[in-house]
Amino acid sequence: MVNIYITYILLGVLLPLIALLYDGIERKMTARIQGRVGPPITQSWLDFIKLLTKKVKLPEDTNMLMLFTGLVLMFAGAFIPLIMVFMRKGDLILLMYLMVGGTLGILLTGLAFRSPYSRVGVSREMQMAFAYEISFIFAIVITIMVTGCRTLESCNVSSIPLVKWPLLLIPFILFLFVAPAKVGVVPVDIGEAESEIAEGPFVEIGGRYLAIAKLSKSMKMLALMQLITLLYLLPADVTGIWYWIYSFVIDGVLVFFTISVVRNAASRIKIDQAVKFYATVPLTIGIIGLVIVYLMRGWGM
Amino acid sequence: MSLWSLLFDPDNSIWVYRINAGSCNGCEIETTPLFTPRYDAERFGIKWVGTPRHADVVLVTGPVTAVAKESVMEVLSQVPDPHVVIAIGSCAVSGGVFRGSYALEGPLDNLYPVDLYVLGCPPKPEGILTALLEAKKILKAKRKGQHQEKPLVVDPAGMVMGR
């Protein structure tokens, strides 16, 4: 019993650091794709420490209550899913709500300031959330319907017969579509566009508040990658220490293909283009997938 | 780099904000190549940011014109401590060819303390990169509460003078 608490505390300290390392690895991979040397892989970790040492300077008319609520929601919406997916404990529906709550945290953080950049960022973030969260929810619902279970420990590709595996391709593809928007990388990071509206909702925060925001973003990325690994790419016989090694390797591969390659292959699209894309392609796949899975259940599969 | 500085040294992360205080855009053109594969300033942890509230280092280009003065002072007042202000190019350092004009409120050091000067019209990217790496040391000193007495000067090709 004591062991499990020690494990949780250890993971609570180590996993955020590993998430920052993954962010650094992603930056290094981007740099290598562009033919640059790139920062050391600990760069995001150094940025985090740097932000903690800075003094905080906020606008005078900041709504502090809203800022703190937003930051807490944002942190919780990334930290708790991260622990849940790595420990394989908890409920998929709860995980879905928590990850949507993280997006809500970003919106609240942006609404705490009166800066027009922040407001524009919040508005775009909200439109994006409406566009992609529905596909995310579809992906999770289809997974639950195919596997027939809701907990993270049993809900897995290896827990169902071989004939059903192709059905899981639908949520897997949906996840690949949603991942860049959920993490917020270049083709669809319209709400936080760094060069355009100066990081949108985070434009006025600095110091340790920004450190929390950056940490949450990294943790959200790792949690999402591990969720994809856990649901669709984990064989049954991988346990113990091999589970951790396998997870971290596959997470790295997923980060490369869903984040780095996408980010270097495309430039930022406009909000109407992004919303139109998410409201057509992934949503259609989701609805068709849901209908197929529902009919299959009717036939007793 | 040592393991300590790779893991725990906050000075290896520098976020840079740029202000154009009436520049002719020549100095901006020379700062942009810093992030191309040839110079790759990101390997030192240097990153552009879009807002002064995230910045550690502020690059100011151009003589501060009467129109730009108010905005420049407001932006500089939003940069959290510790921070370093670098004047890039002849205009920001001395006013350049515009010195004595009725339309100038600057150069910058009349209005705000400057930590580093980069000479040249325009300075080369090497000079600007050297200044950013020197800013790292100044930031380290400022975190410890020390302040240097006289500002450093970097020549266009990246030599540090006045030490």
Note the ipTM here. Answer: 0.85
Contacting A residues, span 25-44, partner chain B, CB-CB under 8 Å: 27, 31, 34-40, 42-43
Residues of chain A with Cβ-Cβ distance to B80 below 8 Å are 54-57, 206-207
Residues of chain A with Cβ-Cβ distance to B54 below 8 Å are 199, 202, 206, 210
The reply to whether B53 touches chain A by the CB within 8 Å rule is: yes
The reply to whether B110 touches chain A by the CB within 8 Å rule is: no
8 Å CB contact between A220 and A181: no
Q: How many CB atoms lie within 10 A of CB A267?
A: 8
Q: Which residue, B104, B96, B117, is CA-closest to B160? A: B117
Sign of the alpha-carbon dihedral angle for B122, B124, B125, B131? negative
Q: Which residue, A221, A217, A78, A20, is CA-closest to B13? A: A20
| Contact call for A199 and B51, based on CB within 8 A | yes
**A245 phi and psi angles, rounded to 5 deg:** -65, -45
- Relative orientation angle of helices A92-111 and A116-147, to the nearest 10 degrees: 180
Mean pLDDT of all residues in B106-113: 82
In angstroms, the separation between the Cα of residue A145 and the nearest Cα of chain B is 44
pLDDT, position A72? 92
Residues of chain B with Cβ-Cβ distance to A189 below 8 Å are none
pLDDT, position B163? 56
**What does the domain layout of chain A look like in residue ranges?**
54-298
Mean pLDDT check: name the lowest of A181-195, B51-65, B147-161. Answer: B147-161
pLDDT, position B162? 65
Cα A14 from Cα B138, distance rounded (Å): 32
Alpha-carbon distance values, A84 to A18, A50, A153 (Å): 15, 29, 10
- Catalogue the long-range contacts made by A233-237 (C-beta closer than 8 Å, 24 or more residues apart): A233/A157, A234/A156, A234/A157, A234/A158, A235/A158, A236/A156, A236/A158, A236/A159
- Catalogue the long-range contacts made by A234-238 (C-beta closer than 8 Å, 24 or more residues apart): A234/A156, A234/A157, A234/A158, A235/A158, A236/A156, A236/A158, A236/A159
- pLDDT one-digit tens code per residue, A174-207: 888 888 888 888 788 877 777 778 777 888 888 8
* Residue B47 reports pLDDT greater than 70: yes
Q: Write the DSSP string, chain A.
A: -HHHHHHHHHHHHHHHHHHHHHHHHHHHHHHHHTT-----TTHHHHHHHHHHHSPP---TT--HHHHHHHHHHHHHHHHHHHHHHHHT-SBHHHHHHHHHHHHHHHHHHHHTS--HHHHHHHHHHHHHHHHHHHHHHHHHHHHHHHH---BTTT-SGGGS-GGGHHHHHHHHHHHHHHHHHHHT-GGG-GGG-HHHHTTGGGSS--HHHHHHHHHHHHHHHHHHHHHHHHHHS--TT--THHHHHHHHHHHHHHIIIIIIHHHHH-PPPPHHHHHHHHHHHHHHHHHHHHHHHHHHHHTT-
Kindly list the structural domains of chain B, giving each domain's residue range(s) and its CATH number in brackets, ordered by start: 13-161 (3.40.50.12280)
Residues of chain B with Cβ-Cβ distance to A67 below 8 Å are none
**B32, B39, B42: which to substitute to probe chain A, counting the most A Cβ within 10 Å?**
B42
Mean pLDDT of all residues in B90-115: 85
- pLDDT one-digit tens code per residue, A40-65: 888 888 889 888 888 888 888 888 89
* Residue B149 reports pLDDT greater than 80: no
Tell me the β-bridge partners of B44: none
In B, minimum Cα distance to A199 occurs at B50
Residues of chain A with pLDDT under 70: 1, 157, 163, 298-301
Q: Which of B7, B15, B82 is closest, CB to CB, to A42?
A: B7
Residues of chain A with Cβ-Cβ distance to B51 below 8 Å are 117, 198-199, 203-204
Q: Which of A27, A49, A202 is closest, CB to CB, to B10?
A: A49
Residues of chain B with Cβ-Cβ distance to A55 below 8 Å are 80-82
* Residue B37 reports pLDDT greater than 80: yes
The pTM assigned to this predicted structure is: 0.86
